[in-house]
Amino acid sequence: MFDPMYDQAAGLRSVAPPAGIRLVPVVLSRDTDTAFDVVWLLGSGLSAMGRNVVALDATCREQPGRTGLAQLLQGRESAAQAESEHTAWRIVPAQSGLSTLMHTAQTLGAQAAQARLAAQFPPETTVVVLAPKEWLSVLFEESVARPLVPFVMEPSGVVDAYSAVKVLFQAGGMQPVLVPLSRGESDDLAAQSLGVLCDTARKHLGWTPDSWPMPAAQTTDTRKAWAQWMFRMEASALALDDGSAQQPSWQKPSQPEVHVPQLWSR
């Protein structure tokens, strides 16, 4: 999907994010294919920008022959060792490890769980956490994290998206972001479905979530649109500079405005 371009990350390298771990929660719903599409796009796109990306997969349990987050938390494997065995970005089994972190969050608080997670990876790593809404509401409770809610404009997708928004907003105290994906629906149908979802949230939750749709293939400048979308995803990540301080980079006063170069073509 992404073709290599000349000096893809030149513009972003000039404005490097602060050293530290960046956490990107992604909601895993019944439509696992859509969630994995977003994770794959984030991993491929951010690694093309020169980022070190790790995706934690709550659908995959760690095993002796398939190590992952649980082994990292137990000190049986270092992130550097794991990275040496993989390419620019990787998907790591994390079901048991995330379950352990949920216990940490429930006993010591979400910030303690986030700090423990951040300690497993080298600085300037972007960690995509793919997990059910209930898990994310515990792991990121009352944080400034912006969980991404991927969904398609079908009735079941809209229902699942509203359920995720409700749990994350009411139980987790966060402001999730809708990420609608097109599956060939007409523009009118897509707009109607998104409108129903937002109206329902406004009526029953008293709040309307932001929507960051994936760029359409027929946009005037597809590469620029994808670059801007990808940078928005990264800029909204929860930054843990010292393992405890929480602040998305787009709120940092030292973060200058960036003009993102054209990185990809479809």
The CATH number assigned to the domain holding 61 equals 3.40.50.300
pLDDT for the residue numbered 24: 97
Interval 132-181: pLDDT, tens: 999 999 999 999 999 999 999 999 999 999 999 999 999 999 999 999 99
pLDDT for the residue numbered 214: 85
Q: Is residue 260 part of a domain?
A: no
Q: Is residue 11 part of a domain?
A: no
Q: What sign results for the dihedral spanned by CA atoms 259, 261, 264, 266?
A: positive
**Does residue 124 have a pLDDT over 80?**
yes
Q: Is residue 85 part of a domain?
A: yes
pLDDT for the residue numbered 261: 33
Q: Who contacts 238 (Cβ-Cβ below 8 Å, separation ≥6)?
A: 22, 23, 24, 25, 114, 140, 143, 144, 145, 146, 246, 248
Paired residues of 179 in beta bridges: 150
Q: How confident is the model at residue 33 (pLDDT cuts 50, 70, 90)?
A: very high
Q: Is residue 245 part of a domain?
A: no
Residue 116, exposed/middle/buried by CB under 10 A (0-12, 13-18, 19+)? Answer: middle
Q: How many domains does the chain have?
A: 1
Q: Is residue 169 part of a domain?
A: yes
pLDDT for the residue numbered 6: 36
Query: Whole-angstrom Cα distance, residue 91 to residue 37?
Result: 13
Mean pLDDT value across residues 6-26: 58
Q: Which residue has the higher pLDDT, 218 or 186?
A: 186
CA-based nearest residue to 233, from 59, 94, 53? 53
Q: How confident is the model at residue 186 (pLDDT cuts 50, 70, 90)?
A: confident
pLDDT for the residue numbered 260: 33
Q: What's CA 157's distance to the chain center, in Å?
A: 18
Interval 202-216: pLDDT, tens: 999 999 999 999 887
Mean pLDDT value across residues 184-208: 91
Q: How confident is the model at residue 85 (pLDDT cuts 50, 70, 90)?
A: low
**Does residue 183 have a pLDDT over 60?**
yes
Q: In angstroms, what is the C-alpha Rg of the chain?
A: 18
Query: Whole-angstrom Cα distance, residue 238 to residue 21?
Result: 8
- pLDDT, averaged across the chain: 82
Tell me the whole-structure pTM to 2 decimals: 0.81
pLDDT for the residue numbered 151: 95
Q: Is residue 251 part of a domain?
A: no
Distance linking the first and last C-alpha atoms of the chain: 5
Q: Is residue 263 part of a domain?
A: no
pLDDT for the residue numbered 219: 55
Mean pLDDT value across residues 106-123: 95
Q: Is residue 3 part of a domain?
A: no
Q: What's CA 224's distance to the chain center, in Å?
A: 20
Residue 137, exposed/middle/buried by CB under 10 A (0-12, 13-18, 19+)? Answer: buried
**Does residue 265 have a pLDDT over 50?**
no
Domain that holds residue 128: 21-237
Percent pLDDT > 70 in the chain is: 78
**Does residue 70 have a pLDDT over 90?**
yes
